Structure 1
Amino acid sequence: MPPTDRPRDHAGQGAATTVAAHRTRRRLRADRARQLADLLRHQILTGAFQDGSLPHESTLATDYRASRNTVRQALDLLRAEGLVERLPGVGTVVVARKYPHGLDRLMGLAETLREHGRVTNEVRTMGPAPAPAPVADRLHVPAGADVLYIERLRRLNGLPLSLDLTYVPLDIGTALLGADLENTDVFRLLEGITGQRLGHAEITLEAVNADTHSAAVLQAPRGAAVLMLERLTHLADGRPVDLEFIRFRGDRIAMSGLLHRS
């Protein structure tokens, strides 16, 4: 190899090393920004910023021992989630609040969120319908038997929060046909109808993309991520009485719970 080519090779290696180091720094800063966004999101959800404003970027940088660039990236992540907005001359403010929904107690939505405002129900559909096979199996009714089907839009302080699809065995559900579902929680009605307390529920929580119908009802973009809670509730004697598929707007609800190690 000619001697004149060697310095060029060394220069190329040095440039490659510099690029790799730069990429590593960017990745570490992005990781740190996500970590900081997680901490700030928790404070927003728990109401730590009571005046609705976040501290100045320099204060956040000092408090969390982060660079100003990292703080800006973290705030950009929260802005993309719709939680904060930057206002000229004001700073970063909370513009949308997520409400905590506890998963460690068997409660209806209105019972869970009562302290955060008024939950209202819009009954969109209600009536007997043949149970799909999976629903019949979960509710322990004959395949193809009629069940009561209810579709409700739940709002918190006037804003769409969840779309609830509910199936109830018809021998119990018939009594719900004349009930005030717009102002009364279904759980309370079921306990009144059966004369029993609700005992326990099995839940599954997953993130799904909003279909066209759900997106339109929830006033969310089509394909937006929503939290889908599947809950099968049993009476105290073990009978399944309420199968729900609840789609929550992911930008307005946060699931929380208290877990104990057995």
Structure 2
Amino acid sequence: MHEPRERGGGSGAAPTRADRARRVAHVLRGQVLRGAFPDGVLPDERALVAEFDTSRNTVREALGLLRDEGLVARRQGVGTVVVGRAYQHPLGELSGLAEVLQRHGVVVNEVREARSVRPPRTVARRLGLAEGGPAVYLERLRRVDGTPLSLDCTYLIPEVGEPLLARGRDTLEKHDVFDLIETAAGTPLGTAEVSVQAVVADPATCAVLAMPAGGAVLAVERLTRLADGRPADLEFIHLRGDRLTLHATLDRARGGPGAAHRQP
């Protein structure tokens, strides 16, 4: 089957079938992640060919990309069905991961490690601790509906972390750390500095998160401060890139390079 020609008068080389398949996959991936197919079944190939004005081979290649990502599968007599689920984490609110994920399913926290440590110097500096002084290290594996989703490695200042250790493993597994920090500190959390980077997970992380070798994770580094400005904890979070999306609603009128030009 011949591929349809690109419409319009644009310049440049004609896209290859791989390019067209990638574009179709971008749109379908977004639909899958947003839950646009409530019955879990994608439109059949004929409908997708018509929707994207492309060939059946291109549609099949696009679906193959999503299948390789673990988002869809082909089922005899049914068609292409959604098999992978992604969860949204809002970037615009300071919430613990468990607080957010409880909206989507049953969250289980497995405490892998919880103890007093001497943190690396760079961690101590960011937490405002004296070099060589103690901190509390907490490592937890998060599962949602039985699926491993994140590996959280957290350093806490002693006045916050030590009361958490005293509460015991059961409390650490059943409660979000942010709630426990506010209780221990007697003051609410204030602000957080967050950076996110997509990285290829190391073999050990892949094994813990039940990911295929070479899978991608969202590596999140978050320094959270109490309302009075004191650092409370520094987190290194590895989120499965195939199971979580970061979401925000942004308003250009509220700031950014073009805001000044739009003032009355």
What is the TM-score with the length of structure 1 in the denominator? Answer: 0.87
Identity %: 54
Residue aligned with 1:115, SS? coil
Other-structure match for 1:5 = none
Give deviations 1:139-161, integer Å, cap 9, x for gaps.
Answer: 01011211000110010011111
Q: Is the 8 A contact 2:219 2:238 kept in 1?
A: yes
Give deviations 1:185-213, integer Å, cap 9, x for gaps.
Answer: 00011111112111111111111222232
When structure 1 is superposed on structure 2, of 28-37 and 81-90 the one drifting more is 28-37
Specify which structure has the higher proportion of helix: 1
Give deviations 1:85-142, integer Å, cap 9, x for gaps.
Answer: 1122211000111111111110011111222101110001000000101101110101
Bigger Rg, which one: 1
Give the distance between the partners of 2:58 and 2:180, measured in 1 at CA.
51
Tell me, yes or no, if structure 1 residue 187 matches structure 2 residue 175: no
Tell me, yes or no, if structure 1 residue 88 matches structure 2 residue 76: yes
1:177 to 160, 165, 178: 165
Say what the alpha-carbon RMSD is for the aligned residues: 1.3
Residue aligned with 2:166, SS? coil
Give deviations 1:219-247, integer Å, cap 9, x for gaps.
Answer: 12333211111111111111110110001
Other-structure match for 1:139 = 127
Q: Is the 8 A contact 2:159 2:185 kept in 1?
A: no
Alignment map for 1:69-148 (pairs within 5 Å): 69-148=57-136
Other-structure match for 1:209 = 200
Give the distance between the partners of 1:157 and 1:178, measured in 2 at CA.
29
| One-letter identity of the residue aligned with 1:61 | V
Alignment map for 1:35-74 (pairs within 5 Å): 35-74=23-62
Residue aligned with 2:110, SS? strand
| One-letter identity of the residue aligned with 1:57 | E
Residue aligned with 2:84, SS? coil
Give deviations 1:68-97, integer Å, cap 9, x for gaps.
Answer: 222111111111111001122211000111
Other-structure match for 2:218 = 227
Other-structure match for 2:227 = 236
Other-structure match for 2:8 = none
Residue aligned with 1:178, SS? helix
Give the distance between the partners of 1:218 and 1:144, measured in 2 at CA.
32
Give the distance between the partners of 1:184 and 1:178, measured in 2 at CA.
14
Other-structure match for 2:258 = none
1:152 to 115, 135, 140: 140
| One-letter identity of the residue aligned with 2:240 | R
Give the distance between the partners of 1:96 and 1:223, measured in 2 at CA.
18
Contiguous gaps of at least 5 residues in structure 2: 1-12, 256-264
When structure 1 is superposed on structure 2, of 218-227 and 157-166 the one drifting more is 218-227
| Consecutive aligned runs of 4 or more in structure 1 exceeding 3 Å deviation | none
Contiguous gaps of at least 5 residues in structure 1: 1-23
Q: How many residues align?
A: 238
What is the TM-score with the length of structure 2 in the denominator? Answer: 0.87
